[in-house]
Amino acid sequence: MQILTPELSIPPFSEVLWCYYDTWKGPDIGINSFVDLHPVQYHHHSLVKDANSLESVSDGDFESCDEVDEAGGMQIAPIIHIVNLAEPKGDGSIVNLQEGMAFLLANGQKYSADIHYINPTDQTILINSAFNIGLVPAEEVDYWLNGFDLDAGYFELPADERTTIKFDCEIQTGVSVVSLLAHAHQYATDYKIELVTADGESEVLMDIKWNETFRWSSPSIFFKQDEIIMGEGDRIRTTCTWDNTSGGLLSFPSEMCTTSGVAIGLSEPLFCTGDIVEQEVQ
């Protein structure tokens, strides 16, 4: 299967986030390969996301999707996300799964091909994106996967201040988290992800000093099946710290704090606007 977006013109010195919408009309089926094709030079991201909750869009729509609401943007989660649980096959797929594993593509699933490009030149550029997706029959799938986004929501970072935001998100009880990916932009300094159990115990899963280049290549970590099992009342805690040296107020989407990932046994794609447990400005 291939998802191919229409062509998009990007004016000089501008940034665009557009979405192409469609619906899968075939049977419930598994996805076991995902190759993202795009021009590298001006690319920020290309994702395929769950759009079932977006009643205002129809199949074939291709439109701007960069609106920001009070929660911090469009609250839709990735259907497919990067995960490495097996050796790469050398075909460019960012989905490397063990035998019997697949992402769920359900009959009637509305999806968004979400593409983000930046044009730093004085010329108009013409682009599009494509996604080559490998499919496997449902009867050959033993373990179903889905993607998730855990997001800080809307926030503001005062100029010339150091700000830390810490938030919690619960993920469906009993699922096995097999990947986590950290996403922030150029003013971040630290990014930490923890598993916090119902009794308050915590385990650090990722703790990194942020590098500006991570904006373009988000750091990620992968776990063996059943290594990280979500118990009842457990949550994923994300802590982001920024030094706002921009000279002005920063807010979403100029800066972000989003932990993405993949879980085995997750019943549907999950988007969580986190519960803020701490916010400090220094």
**CATH code: domain of residue 5:** 2.60.120.310
pLDDT confidence tier of residue 261, bands split at 50, 70 and 90:
very high
The pLDDT value recorded for residue 215 is 80
The answer to whether residues 160 and 233 belong to one domain is yes
Q: Where on the phi/psi map is residue 41: left (φ > 0), alpha (ψ -120 to 50), or beta?
A: alpha
The answer to whether residues 257 and 193 belong to one domain is yes
User: Which range is most confident: 55-59, 63-67, 139-143?
Assistant: 139-143
The answer to whether residues 231 and 153 belong to one domain is yes
d(CA 175, CA 194): 16
Distances 49 to 2, 20, 21, 59, 105 between C-alpha atoms, Å: 15, 10, 10, 14, 11
Give me the domain span that covers residue 39: 1-141
pLDDT confidence tier of residue 50, bands split at 50, 70 and 90:
very high
pLDDT confidence tier of residue 126, bands split at 50, 70 and 90:
very high
The pLDDT value recorded for residue 70 is 46
pLDDT confidence tier of residue 222, bands split at 50, 70 and 90:
very high
Number of domains the chain is built from: 2
At residue 52, does pLDDT exceed 80?
yes
At residue 129, does pLDDT exceed 80?
yes
d(CA 4, CA 58): 16
Which of 99, 125, 141 is a domain's end point? 141
The answer to whether residues 111 and 153 belong to one domain is no
The answer to whether residues 224 and 158 belong to one domain is yes
The answer to whether residues 168 and 229 belong to one domain is yes
The pLDDT value recorded for residue 138 is 97
Determine the average pLDDT of the residues in 176-200.
Answer: 96
The answer to whether residues 126 and 256 belong to one domain is no
Which of 109, 141, 173 is a domain's end point? 141
Higher per-residue confidence, 154 vs 135: 135
The pLDDT value recorded for residue 72 is 44
The answer to whether residues 247 and 137 belong to one domain is no
Nearest to 153 by CA among 18, 47, 280, 258: 258
The answer to whether residues 175 and 262 belong to one domain is yes
Q: Which residues pair with 27 in a beta bridge?
A: none
pLDDT confidence tier of residue 253, bands split at 50, 70 and 90:
confident
The pLDDT value recorded for residue 67 is 64
At residue 252, does pLDDT exceed 90?
no
At residue 128, does pLDDT exceed 50?
yes
Of all residues in the chain, what percent carry a pLDDT higher than 90?
Answer: 80
Q: Which two tokens stand for residue 255?
A: 């800066």
The answer to whether residues 19 and 122 belong to one domain is yes
Q: Map the chain to HEC letters.
A: CEEECCCEEECCCEEEEEEEEEECCCCCEEEEEEEEECCCCCEEEEEEEECCCCCCCCCCCEEECCCCCCCCCCCCCECCCCEECCCCCCCCCCEECCCCEEEEECCCCEEEEEEEEEECCCCCEEECCEEEEEEEEHHHCCEEEEEEEEECCCCEECCCCEEEEEEEECCCCCCEEEEEEEECCCCEEEEEEEEECCCCCEEEEEEEECCHHHHCCCCEEECCCCCCECCCCCEEEEEEEEECCCCCCEECCCCCCEEEEEEECCCCCEEEECEEEEEEEC
Check: CB of residue 218 under 8 Å from CB of residue 181.
yes
The pLDDT value recorded for residue 246 is 92
Check: CB of residue 148 under 8 Å from CB of residue 260.
yes
d(CA 41, CA 117): 9
Check: CB of residue 5 under 8 Å from CB of residue 113.
yes
The pLDDT value recorded for residue 193 is 98
At residue 68, does pLDDT exceed 70?
no
The pLDDT value recorded for residue 74 is 59
Which of 78, 107, 141 is a domain's end point? 141
Check: CB of residue 252 under 8 Å from CB of residue 73.
yes
At residue 71, does pLDDT exceed 70?
no
Q: Find the CATH number of the domain harbouring 202.
A: 2.60.120.230
At residue 86, does pLDDT exceed 70?
yes
Residues in CB range of 255: below 8 A, 6 or more apart: 155, 157, 184, 185, 187, 188, 242
At residue 280, does pLDDT exceed 80?
yes
The answer to whether residues 76 and 171 belong to one domain is no
d(CA 152, CA 260): 12
The answer to whether residues 44 and 166 belong to one domain is no
